[in-house]
Structure formats: C-alpha cells, structure tokens
Structure 1
Amino acid sequence: MNIIFSLDEINEVAQQIIAQNPNKVILFHGEMGVGKTTLIKCLAKNLGVDGATSSPTFSLVNEYQTTTNQLVYHFDFYRLKIETEALDMGADEYFYSGHWCFIEWAEKIPNLIPESHSVIRIQLLPDGKRSLNLL
C-alpha cells in the first residue's frame, strides 16, 4: 500500500492501514518529526483506545486498552543504548503476545523483531505531505 497524504488526513490513513489487515507487530520507520507517533495515536484511536495516548520515549513502552479489551503496545526505542535493554524490559514477551505492537526506532533492536511483522515507512515530501508505504 502506498499513500500520499497531508497530516489533516492522517485519521483516514490509519483507517486504511487497519483495513489492510497488517501483522499485529508493525515497525515504523522515518525521520524524527515525520509523524510516526501521530500516526500511531490515530491507529490506537481507530482500534478503540479511548484515553489519551503519548510517546513512550522515556518509558520505552506505553500500554493501552481498547473498548473491546484488546491491548495496544507503543514502543519507542530511540533512547536505547544497547539492544539488551529492550530484552531486559521484556520486549520479546510483548512482541509474541498476540497483541498490537507499534514499534518506533526498531532498527535499535534488529535481533528481537519477530519474523512475522509489517513495516510502515513514512517520508516527508518537499510540499509538506507525507509518503507512506505499508509492507
């Protein structure tokens, strides 16, 4: 799936992503400030998360519950110094839990990523729009 969108269309993009039935472990790639966290917030909302969501930059993971009692985990590994830090906090248990796992900065933990996963790449275009590829 390839989409060009503006940030005011991000909620519709989240709906389209969910409609594609991706793997529940999704890696988000893109430069800082491109909108990865904003997209993850919209995905969580579209999955039924009612409460406030935020970036887990300092806590590494935030857990949310949907209105249908599904769990959604949002990881941000930007501040990780070594991969074993993610292992020490039990990342692998989250990844194989069967729940939604949205992972920012997955390149910091290459050996922990499950074989079955989807990838979203977001790129900022010169006109301010974003290009999104779901693989």
Structure 2
Amino acid sequence: MEITYTQNEISEVAEQILTASASNIFLLYGEMGVGKTTLIKEIVRQLGVLELSGSPSFSIVNEYEAKDGVVYHFDFYRITNIEEAYDIGVEDYFYSGNFIFIEWPEKIIELLPESANSIYIIKNNNGSRTLKLMPVK
C-alpha cells in the first residue's frame, strides 16, 4: 500500500494502516523529522490510548495503556550497540502479543521479528509525505 498524505489527513492514514496490517508490530523507517512519531501517536490514539508522551528517544521505550491492553513505542535512535536492546529485554516485548511501534529499527536489525509490518516514510518537496506499508506476507 502506498499513500501520499498531508498532516491534515493523518487520521485517515492511521486508520488505513490498522485496517491493512496483519501484524501488531510496526517498523517505521524514515529520516529524522519525517513524521514517524506523529504517525505513531495517531495510530495509538486510535487504539484507545488517552495519555501520550513524545518519542522515547531518551528512555528507549514508552508504555501506554490502551483500551485492549498495552502499547509499546520504541525509539532506538540513541542506542550505540545491540547490547542495549538486549539489556531492556526487547525480545520479551516483541513476543508479548501487544501492539509495538519501533522507530530506527535498522539499529537492531538482527533482533527484529519476521512477523512485522514495515512502514517507509519520505517527505516530499511540497511538504506532503509518502508512506509505503509493506505488511507481513
């Protein structure tokens, strides 16, 4: 699925992603400032999360209470080696059955579950974004 959208259309994009996804794990790829965190915030809002915080850049993971369980939001931008991911028990999170959103997944590529959706976002010259969702096959 490929979608070009503006900030005003992010609610519809989030809904389409949730509808098209076969997995509850999402890997988000894109440059700094492309809107990964903004998209995640909207998706988790649609999952029933009422209290949101920013990107977990400093804490690595944020945990949100949703109406049907827990949602985890990882940001691996600041990790310097794979051991940091092991130290927080990242694999336990991946197999918890909860919704998981991962920014900068390329930093832990060898740990990523195969059963994850990949989302690639690029910023276009006119300020819109183009998103490619590659769901699990």
- The alignment's TM-score, normalised by the length of structure 2, stands at 0.95
Conservation of the 8 A alpha-carbon contact between 2:27 and 2:101: yes
Q: What's 1:61 paired with?
A: 61
- Quote the Cα distance in structure 2 between the aligned partners of 1:12 and 1:131: 14
* Structure 1 residue 18, shift from structure 2 partner: 0.6
Q: What's 2:83 paired with?
A: 84
* Structure 1 residue 53, shift from structure 2 partner: 2.8
Unpaired segments ≥5 residues, structure 1: none
- The alignment's TM-score, normalised by the length of structure 1, stands at 0.96
**One-letter code of the match for 1:114?**
P
**One-letter code of the match for 2:119?**
I
Moved over 3 A (4+): none
| 1:22-57 deviation digits (Å, cap 9, x = unpaired) | 311110000000000000000000011011232100
**One-letter code of the match for 2:107?**
K
- Quote the Cα distance in structure 1 between the aligned partners of 2:90 and 2:112: 9
Unpaired segments ≥5 residues, structure 2: none
Q: What's 2:124 paired with?
A: 125
Identity over the aligned pairs, expressed in percent? 50
- Quote the Cα distance in structure 2 between the aligned partners of 1:22 and 1:33: 27
**One-letter code of the match for 2:16?**
Q
Q: How well do the aligned residues superpose, as a CA RMSD in angstroms?
A: 0.8
